[in-house]
Each structure stands twice: as C-alpha cells, then as structure tokens.
C-alpha cells in the first residue's frame, strides 16, 4: 500500500501551501519590525508569539516542499524590511492589525481544510487554524483589557419568533424600508472596520513608499476606503447605530523606508482580495435590495483596484507565478517551455 504522505499534491493543496508560504514570509517581515518597535510590555509577548508561529509555519512548509521536490517560493526576505527604521505604527494599531490578520488566517485555514486530503497537509492546516484562533484570543483579550476593543452595535432581543409575511421585507429602493437585520448590521460593521484598518495601513505605507507610482496607487486606495466607510456608515447612522472608529491617529510622521515597495503593493493587494470576499459574503447575507445592490456595485471598483496592484507588480517583476497546469496545446505544438 502506498504511504499516504507519498501521494502527489493536488492543485488545491499546492495552491494553499504556496499561498501560505508567500503570506507567512510577509508576516515574518512585518512582525520582526513590530517586535523591534513595540513599547508596551503587555503587547510584546503577543508579537513574539506571532513571530514564532510564522517561523514554525515556514519551516513546516519548506519540509513539505523539499519532500515533494517543489521549488520553494521566494516570498519576502530580510531585504524587504528595515527593522532599524523608526516606528511607523502605534502599539495599539499593531494589536488591531494582528487581530485582523488572524481573522483572515482562520478563514483561509478553514477553507483549505475543506479541500485538502493528504495527511501531512491536513495536519499543517489544522495547526494553522489552531494558531490563528490562539492569536485571535490573545489580541482580543489584550484589547478588552486595555479598552481598545470596539464591539459591534447592540440591538434589542426579539420578543418572540416571527416569520416574514410580505415581499416588502426585501424592499429597499422604493417605499418604506424595514430596519436592518442583525446579520446586515454585522456585515456593515465588519466592512467598515476592515476599511478603517486598511485605510490606516495604506496611509502609513504611502508615507514610506519609495516609488511615486506606488504612492499614487496607495492614495487611490485610501480614497476608495474612505468612500466605502462613509457608504456603509450611513446605513448604521440612519438607524441610530454607532459605526466603528477609525485608526488614522495610529500612524507616526516618519517617511523613512521600512518595507520594500514590492512588499507594500503585495500586502495591499492581498487585503483587497480579502475585501472582495467580504463584500461577496455580505451581499449574499443582505436580503434588503438596496444593501445587496450597494455591495454588488462596489465589488467591480475594488476588483479594478486589485488589477492595478497586479499590473504594477508585473511591471516591476514582483509578482511570483503560482503553480499552473501544463500547457498541453503548447507541448503538442512543440512550443518552448517558459523559463
């Protein structure tokens, strides 16, 4: 019987491992910088834990890659971060950032576990999920303790179980609109919060970007984030519900190089991709027509911005190719293989 870990990697397994390696090398760079700059003694151990997790993940991934003779991606290295640069983000923002990253990792690990089958790959993603849950706990607890955790809005508990009886429940463009459901409130809150984090991150990265082209791309993303914050916030404010606060004051005034432009654009591109997923999930969970339509109208805008990021990375030779299927037609026609 064939040893289970000698089974070839499927496309889904390759995709998950390759993507995770790129993201973990980025996370390693960011957390090394955070560790050098953090001042709060309660936050330092959390960054140390995060850094250790990234190092463990990279070692585990390289072990799998070497076993399968899979070329190890370049990802990001010490050349992409200057840990000796002055402090760019506050300690409070570092925790918020790590919490947001743990949410993205939980989602990615859960999705991967539904697709992978080889025991060593399954075990890797299980450990990834456990670590991301642990980081979520650590960051949530310290935010609650320090009073920086922003809770979603409170609403009244229903008096009884009700069923929808009229099509008016779906209306949103004409006539009287029903109140927001708890599910719609949750997604609006999440998307406001993630745009706030993204806006603060992009603002800081724009300050330290070297290329004018990268700076302009980031400024475009900053304006787009602010626009989306205002759109989603209006839905909550119209219902007398609070919208989450911004994080603009978490940025210092430094302009020294901290991260390479390659890392900056890739990071922003990754967060935009996650945003597209969030909007899609929110659209599916928002029956009120005006809200669903609003998400649908914004997805093309952020998709085009993600394309702008990809084009800039391609132009500068920064975009690594993920594993691809063989070009059968090219092989049949005797076309040369790409370098």
Are 199 and 244 in a shared domain? yes
Asked if the model's pLDDT at residue 309 lies above 50, the reply is: yes
Are 201 and 310 in a shared domain? yes
The answer to whether the CB of 330 falls within 8 A of the CB of 310 is no
3-class secondary structure, 171: coil
pLDDT in the model for residue 154: 84
Confidence band (pLDDT; 50, 70, 90) for 323? Answer: confident
- Domain housing 265: 178-315
pLDDT in the model for residue 255: 93
The answer to whether the CB of 246 falls within 8 A of the CB of 196 is yes
In a domain, 40, yes or no: yes
Asked if the model's pLDDT at residue 181 lies above 90, the reply is: no
In a domain, 326, yes or no: no
CATH assignment at residue 118: 1.20.1260.10
Question: What is the gyration radius of the CA atoms in the chain, in angstroms?
Answer: 22
Instruction: Give the mean pLDDT of 189-193.
Output: 93
Are 138 and 183 in a shared domain? no
pTM across the whole model: 0.89
In a domain, 330, yes or no: no
Domains in the chain, number? 2
Confidence band (pLDDT; 50, 70, 90) for 106? Answer: very high
Confidence band (pLDDT; 50, 70, 90) for 247? Answer: low
Are 194 and 298 in a shared domain? yes
Confidence band (pLDDT; 50, 70, 90) for 330? Answer: low
Question: If you ran DSSP here, which 8-state letter would residue 322 be given?
Answer: P
Are 207 and 302 in a shared domain? yes
In a domain, 203, yes or no: yes
Q: Which of 128-142, 230-244, 294-308 has the lowest mean pLDDT?
A: 230-244
Instruction: Give the mean pLDDT of 4-31.
Output: 91
Confidence band (pLDDT; 50, 70, 90) for 245? Answer: confident
124-161: pLDDT as tens digits: 999 999 999 999 999 999 999 999 888 888 888 878 76
Are 214 and 257 in a shared domain? yes
Are 222 and 266 in a shared domain? yes
pLDDT in the model for residue 1: 38
Are 124 and 188 in a shared domain? no
Instruction: Give the mean pLDDT of 57-62.
Output: 97
In a domain, 56, yes or no: yes
Residues 206, 79: Cα–Cα separation, whole Å: 19
In a domain, 173, yes or no: no
Are 18 and 128 in a shared domain? yes
Are 125 and 239 in a shared domain? no
The answer to whether the CB of 91 falls within 8 A of the CB of 43 is yes
Residues 339, 337: Cα–Cα separation, whole Å: 7
Instruction: Give the mean pLDDT of 3-29.
Output: 90
State the distance between the two ends of the chain, measured CA to CA, in whole angstroms: 37
Instruction: Give the mean pLDDT of 59-81.
Output: 95
In a domain, 161, yes or no: no
Are 140 and 190 in a shared domain? no
In a domain, 323, yes or no: no
């Amino acid at each position: 019987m064939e040893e289970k870990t000698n089974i070839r990697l499927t496309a889904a397994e390759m995709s998950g491992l390759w993507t995770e390696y790129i993201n973990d090398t980025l996370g390693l760079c960011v957390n090394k910088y955070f560790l050098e700059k953090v001042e709060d003694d309660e936050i330092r151990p959390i960054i140390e834990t995060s850094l250790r997790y990234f190092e463990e993940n990279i070692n585990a991934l390289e072990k799998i890659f070497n076993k399968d003779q899979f070329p190890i991606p370049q990802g990001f290295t010490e050349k992409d971060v200057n840990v000796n640069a002055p402090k760019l983000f506050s300690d409070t923002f570092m925790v918020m950032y790590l919490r947001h990253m743990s949410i993205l990792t939980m989602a990615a690990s859960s999705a991967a576990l539904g697709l992978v089958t080889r025991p060593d790959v399954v075990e890797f993603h299980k450990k990834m999920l456990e670590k991301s849950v642990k980081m979520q706990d650590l960051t949530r607890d310290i935010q609650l303790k320090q009073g920086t955790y922003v809770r979603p809005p409170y609403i009244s508990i229903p008096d009884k179980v009700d069923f929808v009886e009229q099509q008016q429940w779906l209306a949103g463009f004409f006539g009287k609109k029903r109140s927001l459901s708890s599910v719609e409130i949750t997604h609006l809150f999440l998307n406001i919060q993630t745009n706030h984090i993204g806006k603060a991150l992009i603002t800081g990265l724009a300050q330290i970007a070297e290329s004018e082209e990268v700076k302009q791309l980031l400024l475009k993303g900053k304006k787009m984030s602010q626009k989306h914050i205002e759109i989603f916030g209006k839905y909550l404010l119209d219902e007398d519900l609070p919208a989450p606060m911004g994080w603009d004051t978490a940025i210092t005034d430094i302009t020294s190089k901290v991260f390479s432009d390659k890392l900056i654009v890739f990071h922003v591109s990754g967060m935009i991709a996650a945003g597209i997923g969030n909007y899609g999930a929110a659209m599916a969970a928002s029956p009120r027509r005006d809200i669903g339509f609003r998400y649908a109208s914004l997805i093309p805008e952020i998709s085009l911005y993600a394309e702008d990021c990809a084009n800039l990375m391609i132009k500068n030779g920064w975009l690594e190719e993920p594993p691809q299927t063989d070009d059968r037609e090219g092989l049949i026609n005797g076309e040369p293989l790409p370098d």
